[in-house]
Chains A and B, each alone.
Chain A
């Protein structure tokens, strides 16, 4: 195939695709009128197009529906995996925030602890009353979560729920004060340590040092109790 002939045939192919400018199109059409072989090529390009489309459509129609159903199952699995991956990435971000906020962990933990304690003894700076206010929660308080319905309002004694009932307390706002002691099941104690058991349902564990009566009185006399 000579170079000019090759170039002309290439133009015929482009003419078939309507990709030539007006001037070149007119030139190629004149050449087509003079050369039956070029005209035949142009005709063939039409046949080839139809053959390609027919082949692909036939192939697509021959694939059983069950195969597409299988593919859909895989797509659903893929989407689920992709979603899980995205959640995992968010967890990673949460971990980053936790690290950044680690300096705030202690006060926040103390704040969170307030939602699981049964008794909160609070004495505010302007509160001249020595007597602490005490609220009592049942044994089941250990399982109480942070998502609460009603926060234990300071100064309000709440009615104890029935034994064995799962109780949820609203996460309290962080306030100026410190939780020093808690009381549940008739035992009072000082908070020694709060540990975070990540990945467990329990979440936080509050280690208590039981307060004997004398210590309790001493504390009541001398310091702030919350």
Chain B
């Protein structure tokens, strides 16, 4: 991408090093180079937010595009009460949520309480099976790749709502109050939804990464064998 360097198109000089405030002022004066610098500055971070919601590259790029058109149209409404990136994040989140609403392609199942969620019978919480902290020895490149693939696959499997709360909280760093406002629900619901999203992700990861967890002793061998990736089974068979 050709970087927008200096521009005097609107009489305001901007560069990739210009601060957000100057860029917004220049963009409002019709300086398209300034708006492009903003795009280049935030494109990947906002893309990551969008991807966190939809888990699909093309759709996330589409949301990014929609987001920046909205930003351009509403830039004059930015009052500076929050930081620019917070404002951008909010627009991206809204665009992503609208996108999901428009394209209800996934069956949105989720587990909001313990009974519905059920216990992970293969790795019951109370059976003493280690958590993800025991992945410490998995430092090889191949193992790292497999762990990342497992994380990705597990996140892909979550429901839209669970992914949304995890993205808002873990990546965007929103408070429960902000999340509740965005998701139009109570803070209690957010607290519960976030907990179940975490437990769900934890369960999926444990199933996928069982072979990497130190001192792991599967309680139900036959079931776990089915869940583990072939590469893990092979590694375990090798003395």
Chain A residues packing against B (C-beta within 8 Å): 1-3, 5-6, 9-10, 13-14, 17, 19, 37, 40-41, 43-45, 47-49, 51-61, 63, 65-72, 74-76, 78-79, 82
Contact = CB atoms under 8 A, between A and B. Distances in A.
Nearest to B135: A47
Contact of A79 (B72, B169, B170, B198): B72
B97 to A, nearest CB: 17
Contacts of B125: 1, 9, 37, 41
Contacts of A13: 191, 194-195, 198
Given A13-B195, A51-B151, A52-B171, A40 B130 contact: yes
Given A1-B114, A44-B133, A78-B69, A10 B148 contact: no
Interface in B94-124: 113-114, 117, 119
Contacts of A68: 1, 40, 43-44, 47, 61
B166 interface: yes
A76 B92 CA distance: 18
Contact of B68 (A17, A41, A55, A75): A75
Contacts of B155: 52, 55
A56 B53 CA distance: 10
B170 A60 contact: no
Given A40-B130, A52-B166, A71 B192 contact: no
Contacts of A6: 113-114
A60 B47 contact: yes
Nearest to B67: A75
Contact of B44 (A1, A61, A82): A61
A5 B115 CA distance: 12
Nearest to B136: A47
Given A60-B44, A75-B65, A54 B176 contact: no
Contacts, number: 134
Contacts of A60: 44-45, 47-48, 51
Interface stretch (B16-24, B77-85, B199-207): B199-207
B57 A63 contact: yes
Q: Categorize the interface residue count of chain B.
A: 35 or more
A interface, over-half SS: helix
A9 B199 contact: yes
A10 B75 CA distance: 39
Contact of B48 (A14, A47, A57): A57
10 contacts: A1-B125, A14-B176, A37-B125, A41-B125, A45-B198, A52-B170, A55-B148, A68-B40, A74-B65, A79-B69
A148 B194 CA distance: 69
B89 to A, nearest CB: 13
Contact of A19 (B57, B65, B132, B176): B176
B61 A71 contact: yes
B91 interface: no
B52 interface: yes
A45 B199 CA distance: 9
A56 B170 CA distance: 10
Contact of B52 (A45, A54, A56): A56
A40 B64 CA distance: 37
Contacts of A65: 1
Given A44-B202, A57-B48, A71-B61, A14 B191 contact: yes
A56 B199 contact: no
A75 B72 CA distance: 9
